[in-house]
Structure 1
Amino acid sequence: MKFTDGYWQLRPGVSVLRPGTVESVEPDERGFTVFAPSGQITGRGDTLNRPVVTVRFFSPAAGIVGVTIGHHSGGLPREPHFGLTTDDGFPVAVDITGITASLTTGELTARVALVDGWRVEFLHGDRLVTASTARSVGIVTDGEGRRYVHDRLALGVGETVYGLGERFGPFVKNGQTVDIWNADGGTASEQAYKNVPFYLSSAGYGVFVDHPEHVSFEVGSEVVAQTQFSVEGQSLTYYVIDGPTPKDVLRRYTALTGRPAKVPAWSYGLWLSTSFTTSYEEKTVTEFVDGMAERDLPLSVFHFDCFWMRQFHWVDFVWDPAMFPDPEGMLRRLHERDLKVCVWINPYIAQRSYLFEEGRQAGYLVRNPDGSVWQWDKWQAGMALVDFTNPDAVRWFTGKLKVLLDMGVDCFKTDFGERIPTDVVWHDGSDPQRMHNYYSYLYNKAVFELLETERGKGEAVLFARSATTGGQKFPVHWGGDCESTFVAMAESLRGGLSLAASGFGYWSHDIGGFEGTPDPAVFKRWIAFGLLSSHSRLHGSGSYRVPWAYDEEAVEVLRHFTRLKLSLMPYLAAAAQEAHRDGIPMIRPMVVEFPDDPATAQLDRQYMLGSDVLVAPVLSADGQVTYYVPAGTWTHLVTGAQVTGPAWVTEKHEFDSVPVLARPGAVIPFGARSDRPDYEWADGVQLRLYAPAPGQRQRVRIPAPGDGPGAEFDVSFRDGVATAELVAGTSSGYDCVVAGAEVVGR
């Protein structure tokens, strides 16, 4: 939100209190509190009618400084809050002199000037990373009497900002106004399904604003040399998170807010959907599954979208008897074909659903202030909203889902959860503004924890659309409703890269796009992009997404890239383990992996899949693509051709090809199978070295698809020969080669 009219003036009706000087500092065990009147205090008379801004500095974990700015502190507590994992067992150093007060945690220091006006510096060691200066802090009153608090942190020359959730506009957020407010707005606007009040800076730090309600960011868009963030109310809490690398920031941020859960091995395979408004019954489903098998297209999951239930009944979790008269038998038959089953759900209860009256009488639905059930007609006629702040409502809702699990369903697509009203009353008294975004967290948490209980940890997986901070704990998330065009394909990628920069470890999108029917060129290009993402789903709105509906070449393209992904499972599993263990996403913006290469700062049409594989989706019908490779010799995984960087490369690719290159010196493990994702990844693995350096030696770890030990290899390259030694775990056989055209397509 903007409060100023240019640099010198405030907007009409706006008044601002700012800290003018530091009157005193009070230390505590974990930090200190600064009392800063709004003007100079030269005598006792100056203390009268003088507002004071109170700012506390503290550290919730090593390398993180928390800042709480407050004015009047007598307000009632407001729930909910983000659940943060803090650590008081590390040392902090507080140093107060006559000139400065400083708090040091790890290598990060917050240093407050005690003389000559307001200034707070955040330093990594001796290096200044950002600062809050004289006009940064504001306690604002607008023309309607509403109160806001803001701070502004300095942007250095050339500094770029990323993240703030899933955002489909420019990947670099400089110059943008970003409102953290979940919305069902598609992928072609400034709205987003997944809003996260966290940004990642190229200067080696991150900022997390600890407010689940509406947070407004002005990233160099109100004051061009500062990022401003503001919330309504009388206090603002944020955290400066130390690097120095983007990965270090993400590790600390996800340790604070939650790491992605481990997802089952089968979920990395190909998912096929009925699509949304298409006509389908068991016969249709069987024809699709048969068609995939007849064309030798590996399939892992079949998804039933909304109309598995009767129209106007969403959700009642009852199979449409006209279309699916024998759901238990159908699910059994799909399982006999070694398929997992996903079904669509949402947290909305249509008035026609039998659950509406059941939920109304029990008090499980969100209510208006007068006690009536909140309802509207958007999406489903007379729909109401499940109140996930009520533990009994959670048990009621998940109990209905358990019936489906007992029937044979394996996982859920948790759609919607963004259009949450703010003029309602919640069971636990939560503030409606704070619940708008936070609802997505409670919704996905309830379903994910049910799956963990019923299927076991490591076997739970969602296909979720809405999220906020902490939602990364309940994977997987997909990019929402995009159009079926090359432009929308690029939008989706920008959304995924921004989400990755916000701490989300896994990500997917609708292959071919959702709205409309893609032409064959778009569909085939999107196949490569989709299969080189962490999770891969064929899904659309009004038309089927089976490849033979487009042309026979689409079948060949899908087979090629599905088998490529499945053969890469030992590598992808290691990247997924890093996401689960350290919070480093599987799909990574180039700047996260190469922060010291200035050419990567703006790159949003390519990405790293794990640490060692570069992917540049083809976003044109003619197959021409331009991408950037950092320094060293990069090798095409499929052809063995090499490219030396740093360089911009322009190539033309047929539909069965895409730039997918191994990093110089990388060891990429290829599995022995390409027909399914959940095999023993270390058995028969081939360890391929790409452009190795003489004398290179490194440890390669391959997880097991379940809870087994996996395998660890010492890989070395000497005198032109690559060798590997199994040093831990088990493998029924392995070999090691220097990659080239002769080993491609094993």
Structure 2
Amino acid sequence: MVQLRDGMWLPAEGVSTEYAEEVYDIAPLGDGQGLSLLCPVKQILRRGHALNTPTVTLDVKAEFDGIISLESTHWAGAQNNGPHFDLFPDGKPSSAQAKITESDDKGTTLSSGSLSATIDPAPHKFGIKFHSTDGTRQLTNLGSRSLGFAYTPAPSTPMQLGDMRDFRHYMFFQTNLSVGESIHGLGERFTAWNKVGQSVSLWNADGGTSSDQAYKNVPFWMSNRGYGVFVDNPGRVEYQIGSERATRVQTSIEGQRIKWYIIYGPSPKEVLKKYSILTGRPGKVPGWSFGLWLTTSFTTNYDEATVRSFLEGMKARDSPVDVFHYDCHWMKAFTWTDFVFDAERFPDPKGSIARLKEEGLCKKVCVWINPYIAQHGAVFKHAAERGYLLKRKNGDIFQWDLWQAGMGILDVTNPEARQWYADCLNRLFDMGVDSLKTDFGERIPSLDVQWHDPTADPHKMHNHYAFQYNQLVYETLQKRYGNDEAVLFARAATAGTQRFPLVWGGDCESTPEALAESIRGGLSMGMSGFAFWSCDIGGFEGSPPPWVYKRWVAMGLLCSHSRLHGSASYRVPWVVDDDDATEEGCSRTLAKWTSLKTRLMPYVYAQAIEAIDGGIPLSLRSLALEFPDDPTAWYIDRQFMVGSQILAAPVFEESGEVEFYLPKGKWTSYFTNEARTGPGWFREKHAFGTLPLYVRENTILVLGNRGQSGSVYDYTADAEVALYHVVPGAKTTVVDYDGKVVGELEVGSDGKLKDTSALKGHVQVSEGGRSLEGDAPVSIVAL
């Protein structure tokens, strides 16, 4: 972690830091879309001061409405090798016409639509303020000594820098952190959701959910003041967020230039919308992916008979499985990943998969893969001989015994290697595999490696590998099954990987604390532009006590995607509690929550389409995205929104007691139709079939027919439309099971639905909340 200062007054030991001290010259950029600022590291009070004085060049450019980029450079002759983030993948919008104004007293201002940057006019001073163009909102600023570069170790004379091999060079900037400002995002982070006070290093790592490491590092953060900042560098990015200096967010990278974008909303949803234009919108997922996923678990023993028994048991207990996942032991030990089913355990994989689908035991099948190729697998020699694996600088294949004995790593910069890997995947598709869990991809070496592409920077490849690997697999799925039928279950990610849904939260423990960690990770991921997120229901490591399993089931079935998965123990409900068949047992609890998500599918899929379009999370969605003017919402990290209209508060206590917050407005319990009025904190006690699940006022909630099973059915047939404190003009979108918009429902001036022609069959309209007829009794106690 880069630290520049030792307190307020001293430099950090062994670090030499140079700050831009004034804006010496302002010149227009060649394209007319911005300004180039020449910033010496000392004040130039007379001509002689320009000698032996380093400078920083800061290019400030209007990108499109509400976005300004800034690129700070020390030595412009340094190479800028890739990989680079794939920006504006759907095409760049028409650039905002840069408007440059000059004023003796206010300074020089560059405006990009709704966002402006104003350079301080005072002589011999460096300062830039970022604000709304209409002047109503001050966002942040680059103040005194906020931009520059640093060396470590500190050179004793500039002559030493003639040989840079013994020095590391960093670029940095520091935006102001205002009173009451909170910072969120930076990928899937399991520490406190508000990052103020934290030091964060963006470097993909396999560290589990109970650490400051992250599988998914995204150099984008959002402020509660209506703006976000994206750093255009896939390498390691270091942040000191109100930590090294309490009033600043410091960002640093190793290199000679740093480029970043400031994105103005003003709402957080608008910030994410613009960010998704910059880095890519989330891909669309098919309806079947929202159903219940079940895995074999990780190191557990299983074969074809085990798989069948699991699926038959789930169906018999009213929790039908939409997607069954074969984890790593579908291949033999020491051979991962060779794409070959273990013939002893699965003598007829193609026939077996076909029978599972034909008998209605699952709709789709997923298998576990990763980009690591074990030396003892069937494909290692083939890949090695053809140069498909990453090499060391001396020409050897890069191998280590971390994870798989003698494993190599797929070289995703080699077009032939990518095609070979795609061919391997297509052979799996020929067997009936529909989806792929792309595990690992975090431990990508950055030292002593040589990629096939000689211009690939090994340092930048470490994080960016997750993008390139998942892109390869996702596009292979798209070519086989269609653009909107491709589904990944990926662990590693970086900026842009939201285009290849979906991701899950990695290795968590089977504890209530880990459940809370997972929620924080999902909330942070949602603030980083990812629409779809899942977790290991029940926890991955260890064996969950029945009460933890059941509480996690409730939370997990309210995620956008829901998967039961463990490490050394199964996650089918009957093995967790010795097949307790009572209403409060694991099997009945899972059945209730699976049924609830099935009923919610018309709402869930309609919300998913909105999430894709807006680059916002479906679930877990922060309350702050829906209630940005509520200060409390920016500190809530134990509950979440499912789409825009439903609030969920998971339970973390064995007693069933839970404290939760409702923002301003009327909120109606999904389970009882009892209403509460926010803002305020409330306490309730819940049995295992419920949790605080509240529907927002002015909601038209379309629910599927009670008799449906699984996530794919005709959402428009025999539906119930529940009205929750609606007012004239309230609307909702109706989608079919392909996610296509088929109509709209609207409340008329009389408070009634105008028209239900978008639906067919028997349409039940329920006022004052949904019909509770046919529900099992619930036990909710207000405390």
The corresponding residue for 2:470 is 444
The corresponding residue for 1:157 is 179
Aligned length: 741
Q: Which of 332, 337, 358 lines up with 2:354 in the alignment?
A: 332
Q: Report deviation, 1:456.
A: 0.2
The corresponding residue for 1:203 is 225
Greater Cα shift, 605-614 or 696-705: 696-705
The corresponding residue for 1:115 is 122
> Does residue 106 of structure 1 match 2:137?
no
Q: Report if aligned partners of 1:631, 1:645 keep a CA contact under 8 Å in 2.
A: yes
> Does residue 378 of structure 1 match 2:402?
yes
Q: How does 1:176-575 map to 2 (within 5 A)?
A: 176-338=198-360, 339-423=363-447, 424-429=449-454, 430-549=456-575, 550=577, 551-552=580-581, 553-575=585-607
> Does residue 171 of structure 1 match 2:193?
yes
Q: Report deviation, 1:582.
A: 1.2
Q: Report deviation, 1:448.
A: 0.4
Distance (Å, rounded) in 1 between the aligned partners of 2:397 and 2:612? 40
Distance (Å, rounded) in 2 between the aligned partners of 1:212 and 1:295? 47
Q: Which runs of 5+ in 1 are unaligned?
A: none
Distance (Å, rounded) in 2 between the aligned partners of 1:270 and 1:564? 11
Q: Which of 639, 647, 650 lines up with 2:680 in the alignment?
A: 647
Distance (Å, rounded) in 1 between the aligned partners of 2:749 and 2:600? 22
Q: Report deviation, 1:645.
A: 1.1
Q: Report if aligned partners of 2:516, 2:638 keep a CA contact under 8 Å in 1.
A: yes
Q: Report if aligned partners of 2:527, 2:616 keep a CA contact under 8 Å in 1.
A: no
Distance (Å, rounded) in 1 between the aligned partners of 2:385 and 2:659? 60
Give the TM-score normalised by the residue count of structure 1. 0.97
1:344-381 alpha-carbon deviations (Å, 9 max, x no partner) = 00000000012111111111100000010001001100
Distance (Å, rounded) in 1 between the aligned partners of 2:501 and 2:754? 34
Q: Report deviation, 1:660.
A: 0.7
Distance (Å, rounded) in 2 between the aligned partners of 1:7 and 1:731? 68
Distance (Å, rounded) in 2 between the aligned partners of 1:499 and 1:420? 22
The corresponding residue for 1:12 is 13
Kindly report the root-mean-square deviation, in angstroms, between the aligned alpha carbons of the 2 structures: 1.5
Q: Secondary structure at the residue paired with 2:568?
A: coil
Distance (Å, rounded) in 2 between the aligned partners of 1:630 and 1:511? 28
> Does residue 722 of structure 1 match 2:722?
no
Q: Report if aligned partners of 2:365, 2:435 keep a CA contact under 8 Å in 1.
A: yes
> Does residue 129 of structure 1 match 2:132?
no
Q: Secondary structure at the residue paired with 1:94?
A: strand
The letter for the 1-side match of 2:736 is A
Distance (Å, rounded) in 2 between the aligned partners of 1:454 and 1:739? 46
Q: Report deviation, 1:60.
A: 2.3
Q: Secondary structure at the residue paired with 1:499?
A: helix
> Does residue 94 of structure 1 match 2:95?
no
Q: Which of 677, 697, 702 lines up with 2:711 in the alignment?
A: 677
Distance (Å, rounded) in 1 between the aligned partners of 2:451 and 2:773? 58
Distance (Å, rounded) in 2 between the aligned partners of 1:407 and 1:298? 22
Distance (Å, rounded) in 2 between the aligned partners of 1:90 and 1:726? 42
The corresponding residue for 2:158 is none
Q: Report if aligned partners of 2:196, 2:242 keep a CA contact under 8 Å in 1.
A: yes
> Does residue 705 of structure 1 match 2:712?
no
Q: Report deviation, 1:708.
A: 4.5
Q: Report deviation, 1:741.
A: 6.7
Q: Report deviation, 1:707.
A: 6.4
Q: Report deviation, 1:685.
A: 2.1
Q: Secondary structure at the residue paired with 1:601?
A: helix
Q: Report if aligned partners of 1:177, 1:217 keep a CA contact under 8 Å in 2.
A: yes
Q: Report if aligned partners of 1:22, 1:115 keep a CA contact under 8 Å in 2.
A: no
Q: Report deviation, 1:670.
A: 0.6
Q: Which of 731, 737, 743 lines up with 2:766 in the alignment?
A: 737
Q: Secondary structure at the residue paired with 1:459?
A: coil
Q: Secondary structure at the residue paired with 1:504?
A: coil
Q: Report deviation, 1:78.
A: 1.4
Greater Cα shift, 72-81 or 39-48: 39-48
Percent identical residues: 45
Q: Report deviation, 1:287.
A: 0.7
Q: Secondary structure at the residue paired with 2:250?
A: strand
Q: Which of 25, 33, 37 lines up with 2:36 in the alignment?
A: 33
Q: Report if aligned partners of 2:56, 2:148 keep a CA contact under 8 Å in 1.
A: no
Greater Cα shift, 641-650 or 705-714: 705-714
Q: Report deviation, 1:265.
A: 0.4
Q: Which of 45, 49, 53 lines up with 2:48 in the alignment?
A: 45
Q: Report deviation, 1:684.
A: 2.0
1:468-502 alpha-carbon deviations (Å, 9 max, x no partner) = 00011111110000000101100100000011111
> Does residue 81 of structure 1 match 2:107?
no
The corresponding residue for 2:4 is 3
The letter for the 1-side match of 2:173 is D
The letter for the 2-side match of 1:342 is C
The letter for the 2-side match of 1:8 is W
Q: Report deviation, 1:681.
A: 1.3
Q: Which of 61, 66, 75 lines up with 1:72 in the alignment?
A: 75
Distance (Å, rounded) in 2 between the aligned partners of 1:580 and 1:53? 39
| Distance change >3 Å, CA 649–CA 71, structure 1 → 2 | same
The corresponding residue for 1:586 is 618
Q: Report deviation, 1:709.
A: 4.3
Q: Report deviation, 1:742.
A: 4.1
Distance (Å, rounded) in 1 between the aligned partners of 2:407 and 2:253? 31
| Distance change >3 Å, CA 121–CA 238, structure 1 → 2 | same
| Distance change >3 Å, CA 203–CA 518, structure 1 → 2 | same
Distance (Å, rounded) in 2 between the aligned partners of 1:570 and 1:715? 18
Give the TM-score normalised by the residue count of structure 2. 0.93
The letter for the 2-side match of 1:571 is Y
1:614-666 alpha-carbon deviations (Å, 9 max, x no partner) = 00011111100000001122111122122111110100000111111101121
1:650-708 alpha-carbon deviations (Å, 9 max, x no partner) = 00000111111101121111112531211121222222111234xx2222112222264
The corresponding residue for 1:601 is 634
The corresponding residue for 2:157 is none
Q: Which of 618, 642, 653 lines up with 2:651 in the alignment?
A: 618
The letter for the 2-side match of 1:507 is W
Q: Report if aligned partners of 2:696, 2:724 keep a CA contact under 8 Å in 1.
A: yes
Distance (Å, rounded) in 2 between the aligned partners of 1:583 and 1:493? 19
The corresponding residue for 2:151 is 141
Distance (Å, rounded) in 2 between the aligned partners of 1:653 and 1:512? 18
| Distance change >3 Å, CA 665–CA 702, structure 1 → 2 | same
The letter for the 1-side match of 2:416 is D
1:531-560 alpha-carbon deviations (Å, 9 max, x no partner) = 011000011011111111123311111111
Runs of 4+ in 1 over 4 A off after TM superposition: none
Q: Report deviation, 1:91.
A: 1.9
> Does residue 630 of structure 1 match 2:663?
yes
Q: Report if aligned partners of 1:639, 1:744 keep a CA contact under 8 Å in 2.
A: no
Q: Report if aligned partners of 2:63, 2:96 keep a CA contact under 8 Å in 1.
A: no
